[in-house]
Amino acid sequence: AELFEEARGILEQECGPCHLDTLGVYSNLAATYDAMGRVEDAIEILEYILKVRKEKLGTAYPNVDDEKKRLAELLKEAGRDWYKKGKSLENLLDSNSQRIRKEGMKRLSGF
């Protein structure tokens, strides 16, 4: 975990917190925390990753579904209200998918 934490700090400084490489290290750090039994830390990181991807990159990014599933599993493991948290994540993904489809249709129709 220490090496991922160090890499995260370096990448945040050099590339920024929203850079794909930085988010990749965050994801690896979350997996490491989970493996170490630090579920709350892993949940916090995955929530951060999903928030940044939504705000900066859009939820159509390929890893979002995997990260959403990982977060759901960790929330369940931690005994949190998965339904409420899961529904908000589903709504996040659904709304972005609809927006992307609409934008694609506009481009195809020339409007």
Whether the predicted model's global pTM rises above the 0.85 cut: no
What CATH code would you report for 2-109?
Answer: 1.25.40.10
* Cβ neighbours for 89, distance < 8 A, ≥ 6 positions apart: 50, 68, 71, 72
Tens-digit pLDDT profile for residues 32-77: 999 999 999 999 999 999 888 888 767 666 677 788 888 888 888 8
**SS3 call for 17:** coil
pLDDT in the model for residue 92: 60
Per-range mean pLDDT, top range of 30-34, 52-56, 83-87, 102-106? 30-34
Measured CA to CA, the distance from residue 54 to residue 18 in angstroms comes to: 11
| DSSP line for 42-104 | HHHHHHHHHHHIIIII-TTSTTHHHHHHHHHHHHHHHT--HHHHHHHHHHHHHHHHHHHHHHH
**For the chain, domain boundaries:** 2-109
Return the percentage of the chain with pLDDT > 90, whole number: 36
